[in-house]
């Protein structure tokens, strides 16, 4: 829960913390709904809030704990907490939109464990002033190993929701769609929160309050996080909100779940009690963004690096010892917190001793050059014993299987492992199928999740810059399309530009993205290069299309995101009717300069969304030329600093002859420009006097002449 809000103090037995994230600048001040939600909950049960009840209980339990420890603070633990992630999605395939991938979930669990144990890589960013009070909690968040029925589980539940987005008022409706008993599982719901980052349900004490309503409270106990603030970009290329892309939203909300309050205590005062933790400095308000250290509040230095402030994810890095002690009291005493420590969710179920699941094929990528490459897979041990042996088989186009045996460093139950092995593929398109078998040398107790397939294209088709593609004729030898199914999701279709390429999102059923990959290009000799293309897209809010622009500098072994590109809606028309439905984007290719084996890729994914149209792809040597009408072959215009520019707009690469004559008919310039296509040529014309000249060109086997006034430098 981290964004500019202003809170009033309401110290209650039950606290739900909700934070609102503005979509545009017009939402610059959206206040937190903590007060309203808590008051609404108490009103629901006709109860009067008792602000001191929880803190009174907390102090009693703290004293008892200190007495048990001989009046000395000691480290308690380790604790293990079974987690179930309820992914409430909008029907997208796994890994797309709200239906986040397993990898994104694992990334978030990793952040949670590191932050609470103070093993986070940025712990060294805690200012030296606060290092002496930095605390660590010996806690391990574990994806649940068995579900409430006793069946094996990955701890991840996916459910198509009844709404495309949720607000705080939908709390009960959201959680009723997928819930595991909160006395045994730490429920975390991940969904599309409208203007929200996340919220948590505060623990309760055994004092008078809402205890008589435990059944109702239990069914909503847990944390809700927006799908685009869940996980860390340090572990993968996940589509996360800027500023909230390192997984600290869940760290913050889990702090609330275990009894921590905001560091400023939800008051705007330096005199009243703040967060009931002695080693967090007083401050009279939340901190936003990521300011420089130090900042002052209440005549002392603010600990805005605390996970319980509102700073951006990269600026958070510390729980204090006092906060850790407070969480320990809750863990060992509070209803539906202490019971988690002995949950059935921590125990691997019987009947599933040997069980492995193939989760993903990490490489090879859909399009690359090399036939001899590396097959890399990720799998999960769903058995009750450590996994130490595995057999891997792969085949190409359902041909002869090639099998290898692997002795593994022991992989604990429900943990993940990776394997890499050499594989030889064929030129062209093929279906690569992987099968796992014999976990620990024994038949798999559940073989239904042991196989995956992936379409791969191996080609090394090369072309020379500059490049143009208008999709009017066959382009299969230039641009490679790979879709999960045999039918391509990228198809040519009639548009305002005669024929364009469309990503047919309305027909997609696959669980993977579709790739459009260009030829191998040499950027090693270029000093400047740009890409320009046009697209038309009407967004379907419930089923959006994701478009990524990627590049590889090793001919396809690895792909990275190209900086400077984002997809947005261009029209309200599902199918483009005129030029106004299209938008143009120019992207710098500076990141590619100096590399010999470069490929560009448009990677699109959706599930029953609106179509996305692409056209007029231009790869320039040098600057991006001005956009000319398609029928205009050349444009001539003077440079303000002297000389002229020639912008060519021809269909095929060719040699262009340029001559410049003075008004006496004398040739003053003669040049041959090879490999001309779409680029702009700059002629400095240092030796010419100011005056009128005739520019004569041979382009497309036609001759063009034009008078032009040339200003001498």
Say how far apart CA 516 and CA 366 lie, in whole Å. Answer: 10
For residue 197, whether the previous peptide bond is cis, meaning omega lies within 30 degrees of 0, is no
Q: In what order do the strands lie in the sheet with 451-458?
A: 367-368, 451-458, 428-437, 387-396, 402-411
Say how far apart CA 42 and CA 44 lie, in whole Å. Answer: 5
Non-local (6+) Cβ contacts of 169 within 8 A are none
What is the 8-class DSSP label of residue 222? S
Residue 310: both structure tokens together: 């509102």
Q: What is the dihedral of CA 107, 111, 112, 114, to 10 degrees?
A: 130
Say how far apart CA 512 and CA 473 lie, in whole Å. Answer: 28
Say how far apart CA 235 and CA 157 lie, in whole Å. Answer: 21
- Can you list the positions of beta strands (E) in 412-464? 416-424, 428-437, 451-458
Closest CA relative to residue 228, chosen from 133, 96, 54, 114: 96
In contact, 171 and 69? CB cutoff 8 Å: no
Say how far apart CA 50 and CA 47 lie, in whole Å. Answer: 9
Name the catalytic one among 253, 286, 512, 618: 253
Strand, helix or coil at 223?
A: strand
Closest CA relative to residue 319, chosen from 248, 226, 241, 240: 248
Say how far apart CA 704 and CA 681 lie, in whole Å. Answer: 16
Q: Kindly give the residue spans of alpha helices, DSSP state H, lying in 137-279.
A: 171-176, 214-218, 248-257
Query: What Rg do the C-alpha atoms of the chain give, in angstroms?
Result: 31
Q: Kindly give the residue spans of alpha helices, DSSP state H, lying in 444-575.
A: none
Active site residue 212: no
What is the 8-class DSSP label of residue 675? E
End-to-end CA distance of the chain: 60
Q: What is the dihedral of CA 99, 100, 102, 105, to 10 degrees?
A: -130
The neighbouring-strand residues paired with 139 are 79
Q: What one-character-per-residue DSSP string does 632-649 give?
A: --EEEEE-TTSSEEEEE-
Neighbours of 631 (CB within 10 A): 6
- Can you list the positions of beta strands (E) in 241-355? 296-297, 300-301, 319-320
677 dihedral zone (left: phi>0; alpha: psi -120 to 50; beta):
alpha
- At residue 106, φ and ψ (nearest 5 deg) are -60, -35
**H or E, element range at 332:** helix 321-333
Closest CA relative to residue 562, chosen from 579, 547, 548, 542: 548
In contact, 170 and 20? CB cutoff 8 Å: no
For residue 18, with 0-12 CB atoms within 10 Å meaning exposed, 13-18 middle and 19 or more buried, which class applies?
Answer: buried
Say how far apart CA 469 and CA 463 lie, in whole Å. Answer: 12
Residues in the chain: 713
Active site members? 253
């Amino acid at each position: 829960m981290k964004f500019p809000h202003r809170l009033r103090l309401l110290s209650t037995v039950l606290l739900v913390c909700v934070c609102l994230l503005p979509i545009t600048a017009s939402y610059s001040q959206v206040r937190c709904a903590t007060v309203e939600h808590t008051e609404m909950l108490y009103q629901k049960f006709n109860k009067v809030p008792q602000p001191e009840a929880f803190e009174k209980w907390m102090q009693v339990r703290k004293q008892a704990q200190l007495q048990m420890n001989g009046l000395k603070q000691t480290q308690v633990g380790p604790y293990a907490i079974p987690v179930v992630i309820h992914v409430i999605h909008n029907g997208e395939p796994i890994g797309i939109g709200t239906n986040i991938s397993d990898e994104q979930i694992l990334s978030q669990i990793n952040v949670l464990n590191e932050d609470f144990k103070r093993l986070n890589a940025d712990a060294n960013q805690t200012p030296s002033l606060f290092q002496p009070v930095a605390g660590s909690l010996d806690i391990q968040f574990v994806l649940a190993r068995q579900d409430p029925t006793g069946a094996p589980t990955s701890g991840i539940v996916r459910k198509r929701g009844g709404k495309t987005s949720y607000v705080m008022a939908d709390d009960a409706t959201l959680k009723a769609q997928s819930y595991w008993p909160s006395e045994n599982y730490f429920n975390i719901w991940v969904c599309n929160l409208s203007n929200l980052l996340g919220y948590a349900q505060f623990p309760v004490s055994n004092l008078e309050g809402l205890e008589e309503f435990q059944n109702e409270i239990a069914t909503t106990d847990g944390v809700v996080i927006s799908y685009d603030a869940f996980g860390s970009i340090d572990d993968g290329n996940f589509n996360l909100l800027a500023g909230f892309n390192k997984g600290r939203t869940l760290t913050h909300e889990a702090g609330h779940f275990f009894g921590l309050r905001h560091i400023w205590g939800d008051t705007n005062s330096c005199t009243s009690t703040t967060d009931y933790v002695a080693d967090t400095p007083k401050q009279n308000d939340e901190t936003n963004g990521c300011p420089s250290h130090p900042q002052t509040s209440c005549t002392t230095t603010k600990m805005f690096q605390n996970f319980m402030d509102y700073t951006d994810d990269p600026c958070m890095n510390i729980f204090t010892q006092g906060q850790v002690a407070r969480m320990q009291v809750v863990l060992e005493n509070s209803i539906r917190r202490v019971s988690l420590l002995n949950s059935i969710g921590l125990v691997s179920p019987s009947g599933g001793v040997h069980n492995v699941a193939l989760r993903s094929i990490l490489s090879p990528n859909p399009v690359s050059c090399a036939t001899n490459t590396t097959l890399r897979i990720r799998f999960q041990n769903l058995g009750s014993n450590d996994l130490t042996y595995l057999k891997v088989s792969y085949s190409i186009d359902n041909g002869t299987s090639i099998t290898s045996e692997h002795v593994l460093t022991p992989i604990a139950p429900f943990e993940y492992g990776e394997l890499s092995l050499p594989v030889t593929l064929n030129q062209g398109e093929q279906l690569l199928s992987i099968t796992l078998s014999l976990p620990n040398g024994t038949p798999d107790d559940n073989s239904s999740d042991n196989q995956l397939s992936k379409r791969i294209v191996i080609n090394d088709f090369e072309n020379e810059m500059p490049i143009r593609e208008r999709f009017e004729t066959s382009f299969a030898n230039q641009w490679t399309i790979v879709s999960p199914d045999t039918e391509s999701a990228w198809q040519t279709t009639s548009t305002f530009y005669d024929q364009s390429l469309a990503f047919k999102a309305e027909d997609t059923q696959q669980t993977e993205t579709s790739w459009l990959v260009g030829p191998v290009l040499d950027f090693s000799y270029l000093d400047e290069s740009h890409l320009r293309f046009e697209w038309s897209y009407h967004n379907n809010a419930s089923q959006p299309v994701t478009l990524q622009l990627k590049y590889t500098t090793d001919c396809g072994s690895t792909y990275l995101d190209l900086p400077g590109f984002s997809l947005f809606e261009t029209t309200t028309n599902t199918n483009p009717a005129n030029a106004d439905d299209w938008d143009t984007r120019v992207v710098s290719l500076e990141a590619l300069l100096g590399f010999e084996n470069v490929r560009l890729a448009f990677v699109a994914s959706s599930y029953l969304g609106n179509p996305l149209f692409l056209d007029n792809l231009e790869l320039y040597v040098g600057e991006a030329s001005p956009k000319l009408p398609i029928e205009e072959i050349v444009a001539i215009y003077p440079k303000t600093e002297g000389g002229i520019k020639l912008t060519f707009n021809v269909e095929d690469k060719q040699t262009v002859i340029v001559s410049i004559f003075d008004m006496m008919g004398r040739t003053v310039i003669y040049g041959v420009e090879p490999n001309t296509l779409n680029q702009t040529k700059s002629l400095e014309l240092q030796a010419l006097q100011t005056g009128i000249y005739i520019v004569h060109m041979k382009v497309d086997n036609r001759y063009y002449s034009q008078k032009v006034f040339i200003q001498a430098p």
